[in-house]
Amino acid sequence: MARKLIIDCDPGISDAVALCLALFDPRLEVLAITATAGVVAAERSTTNVRALVNQLDPPRYPRIGTAVASEHAPVEDDNELHGSDGLAGCQFAVTDRQHQQPSDKVIAELLRLHPDQITILCCGPLTNLARVFSRDPSLVPLVDKLVLCGGTLAGPGDRTPAAEANMFYDPPAAQDVFASATTKSLVPLDVTEQVVFGMDLLDQLPSKQTRVGGLLHRILPYSFRAAHEFLGRESIALADPIGLLAVLEPDLFQWQEIAGDVETQGMLTRGATVFDRRARKQWQCNMEVAAEIDAGAARERIIRGLRYAGQQS
């Protein structure tokens, strides 16, 4: 039986690649894609989710949740790695297919409808999930599994020297979700950065004549150009597909049971993920964190998954 999945995201090129994989994977039943503000503002995030579903035209349409801005969002913008619209500046067309509800309401309704059956994959800031848990704490135990893509275990951040972007955007929401009584798996930047793709990835994508291939061939070249210009790299990492692998193939990872929290106040450390590594630990363990990944196998699974998605589109 296919795993029921909600994908909470802020597309984002990496998010778009994850959606290409998830929407055509027979192991998954994507019930909803819920937009959250992060890489792009709330309205643009919603537009991007709708545009991606429209471009991909999957065999089963998920529900779509609209993003609502977080009151904790930082003022400055940081989307040069994704383009002005988050999707390489492509400005994909959008059509209205369904009535739109706020993301937190969509998540709450589905959890009530399918208690203990839904995995939630969070590829962006945790604003929506924190709202769900805050407004109705009875929903917390109804989540089967929660996979969070973000934070850092030991390495530096990518948004600031201390913080990864998803945690930096809405630290109070991340702190609330970390503290929630759910089964959580965190896939941090340390691990997602272990799986890199060179320009040869473009030659391994599905044909441009397929919907998946057509989309990927338009957005991924921008990622390589931006990585070269802004990071001085000739390769890219795709964090959100790695998060999806943690849902589908957790055995590719080495996990540590650990206690984690998120800094919300620090002038220099806003959004930093902090773990109790003391010899005499005092915090209660609240999650498993990916510490290592079989990078070669992960890269192969992603490329194979994209080719399969291309065959279905």
Q: What is the SS3 assignment for 16?
A: helix
Residue 118 neighbours by CB under 8 Å, 6+ apart? 4, 5, 6, 31, 110, 111, 142, 143, 144
pLDDT at 99: 72
Q: What is the CA radius of gyration of the chain?
A: 18
Query: Would you say 188 and 150 are in contact if contact means Cβ atoms under 8 Å apart?
Result: yes
H-type alpha helices, 23-153: 42-56, 103-113, 127-135
Q: Count up the domains in the chain and report the number.
A: 1
Residue 264 neighbours by CB under 8 Å, 6+ apart? 171, 172, 175, 270, 271
Give pTM, 2 decimals: 0.97
**What is the torsional sign of CA 299, 305, 306, 308?**
positive
Q: How many whole angstroms from its chain centre is CA 104? A: 16
CATH number of domain containing 47: 3.90.245.10
Its domain, for residue 35, covers 3-312
β-partners of residue 196 are 237
pLDDT tens-digit profile, the chain (313 residues): 899 999 999 999 999 999 999 999 999 999 999 999 999 999 999 999 999 999 999 999 999 999 999 998 886 666 789 999 999 999 987 876 567 899 999 999 999 999 999 999 999 999 999 999 999 999 999 999 999 999 999 989 999 999 999 999 999 999 999 999 999 999 999 999 999 999 999 999 999 999 999 999 999 999 999 999 999 999 999 999 999 999 999 999 999 999 999 999 999 999 999 999 999 999 999 999 999 999 999 999 999 999 999 999 9
Query: Would you say 152 and 188 are in contact if contact means Cβ atoms under 8 Å apart?
Result: yes
pLDDT at 97: 58
- Minimal CA–CA distance to 188: which of 83, 135, 258, 132? 258
- Cα–Cα distance, 32 to 260 (Å, whole number): 28
